[in-house]
Amino acid sequence: MGIPTIPVSHNMLFVLDPRFGDFNRDIVSDIFRSVDTRFAEVLGTSQSSSTIMSVILYASDGIPMCSSTSENIHHIYLCCKGGDYSILMFQFAHEYCHHLIGGELKGGIEGLKWFEETVCEVASMYHLRRMISDWKRSNDAEKLHAVPEIQKYLEHLEKPSYSASSDILRHLKMEGWIEWYISCYKQRSRPSSNAVAVKMLPIFEANPHLWRIILHFGDMRRWKTLDELFQHLRKADSSYEAPLVELQVLLRSLY
């Protein structure tokens, strides 16, 4: 007997696993599809924003991640219950962002990999926001019922005590904050990594086409400095010049 799967779209397959628990298959497929569709909209790409097949699996080691197989299929590992819609969206949007960036999908935080992680954190919050506004207008009773919980979850991610406590901001003002930031990543300390993402989110909210920068990231381990990366991004596409400057000014203000 084959492994049970749910086809989500022509290039996305969800592999069922008892550890996801019981859940509404339509809603979960809808969450996965909505991230793909919305990314395609803001990136200005066709119907589906990726030609690479992605397979969604349960993360046995408890760490959500996106990895690549030798056949160039991306495996997106999630670690939550299928009925925990906010956490599911949070994890999936982050990993799907890695999938779209398509750089070397290996562990480690060399070069500007930390910045890719930060942008993926922004993606999580960005898609959670969109989910709330979509679900608020839905006719589906289960979606409507879930909205307050998702709102609470997002507020928790964005609230100062979690994302930008004075301690974190003090570190961000220090010289060498990037080294500190990377060390937080190595320790998998999400509150600190989230602090910069929270500050970046409004720029992406106001300028959704800024998401196009991820199409030009490539392997982020090859960049040594943000200035080097931003110079490359500016040359690659002129459509996001103004918000890119805004993003650069923000990041410079942090160190």
Which stretches of the chain bind Zn ion, using CB under 5 A? 117, 120
Provide, rounded to whole angstroms, the least separation between the CB of residue 1 and Zn ion.
34
Provide, rounded to whole angstroms, the least separation between the CB of residue 65 and Zn ion.
7
Provide, rounded to whole angstroms, the least separation between the CB of residue 89 and Zn ion.
15
- In the bound state with Zn ion, the residue whose beta carbon lies nearer, of 36 and 117, is 117
- In the bound state with Zn ion, the residue whose beta carbon lies nearer, of 27 and 120, is 120
Return the beta strands (E) in the chain as ranges: 5-9, 12-15, 54-58, 65-68, 74-78
- In the bound state with Zn ion, the residue whose beta carbon lies nearer, of 94 and 143, is 94
Give Cα separations from 44 to 27, 39, 48, 50 (angstroms): 25, 8, 10, 12
- In the bound state with Zn ion, the residue whose beta carbon lies nearer, of 30 and 117, is 117
DSSP classification of residue 82: T
Does an H or E element contain 5, and which? strand 5-9
List the one residue out of 56, 76, 54 whose CA is nearest residue 67. 76
Provide, rounded to whole angstroms, the least separation between the CB of residue 117 and Zn ion.
5
Gyration radius of the chain over CA positions: 18
Say how far apart CA 190 and CA 72 lie, in whole Å. Answer: 29
